[in-house]
A = this chain, B = another copy of it.
């Protein structure tokens, strides 16, 4: 029986032998949502980096890179755009390589780098991702990027949505997978409403990105599954 485990924070990833798993990286607000949307819209690759300085360094390699960096919800001077999924449209990203600055997501990716495979999940590609995961016959680790190494509700709720689709296949769930799924049951009728009570939602509201939040909570808008090849996220070709 394959395992379906949920890692509630990057700080807990070292507890898992990631070599045994396909790892799904989850950072709903907004990195993995924007990545799914960008790859769907034809971005050739998306390179996630942790720091604005690393992102800027790619700019010096030539004009081939679109640079995305935000601080406090605003595009950093000299960069092409920020982390809003609305920046990842066909018009902007098709055929381009985007360098995306994302602290939590990059941290989770880095800690998972020895996994069998690393793919990217968000509500946008939920069912497509789950169908692919079902076909793999492997142990699966849903890795929540969280917030500054701690637990957050939106990533956990999404993990619970994945568990919901996979559990008919008789995976062995760990306690975190059970909990994530039960939280999804509690919140699923109105995920946006449910998440409004979180502190993170307050923080995002202050940044004026409520439209981004609504966008990131749309289910099955896309079908592309971003997969890590080297240091680049590209579209998975089956």
Interface residues of chain A, those whose CB is within 8 Å of chain B, are 8-9, 11-12, 15, 147-153, 156, 172-176, 178-179, 182-183, 185-187, 197-200
Could you say which residues of chain B place their CB within 8 Å of the CB of A156? 179
Known: A175-B199, A178-B198. A12 touches B15 (CB 8 A): no
For the complex of A and B, list the 9 residue pairs with the smallest distance between their C-beta atoms, beginning with the closest: A153-B175, A151-B176, A182-B186, A152-B175, A175-B198, A15-B150, A11-B11, A8-B151, A151-B175
Are A179 and B150 interface neighbours, CB within 8 A? no
CA distance A187 to B199 in the complex (A): 24
In the assembled complex, the CB of A107 is this many whole angstroms from the nearest CB of chain B, namely 13
With both beta carbons as reference points, the residue of chain B lying nearest to A187 in the complex is identified as B182
CA distance A15 to B183 in the complex (A): 23
CA distance A173 to B178 in the complex (A): 22
In the assembled complex, the CB of A61 is this many whole angstroms from the nearest CB of chain B, namely 35
Residue from B9, B173, B183, B197 within 8 A of A12 (CB atoms)? B9
Could you say which residues of chain B place their CB within 8 Å of the CB of A149? 12, 15
In the assembled complex, the CB of A190 is this many whole angstroms from the nearest CB of chain B, namely 14
In the assembled complex, the CB of A134 is this many whole angstroms from the nearest CB of chain B, namely 22
In the assembled complex, the CB of A90 is this many whole angstroms from the nearest CB of chain B, namely 34
In the assembled complex, the CB of A189 is this many whole angstroms from the nearest CB of chain B, namely 13
With both beta carbons as reference points, the residue of chain B lying nearest to A146 in the complex is identified as B175
Q: Known pairs A150-B176, A183-B183, A186-B186; list 20 more (Cβ under 8 Å).
A: A8-B9, A9-B12, A11-B11, A11-B12, A11-B15, A12-B151, A15-B148, A15-B150, A151-B176, A152-B175, A153-B175, A153-B179, A174-B199, A175-B198, A175-B199, A178-B198, A179-B179, A179-B183, A182-B186, A182-B187
Q: 5 A-B residue contacts at CB 8 Å?
A: A15-B149, A172-B199, A182-B183, A182-B186, A185-B186
In the assembled complex, the CB of A213 is this many whole angstroms from the nearest CB of chain B, namely 15
CA distance A186 to B172 in the complex (A): 21
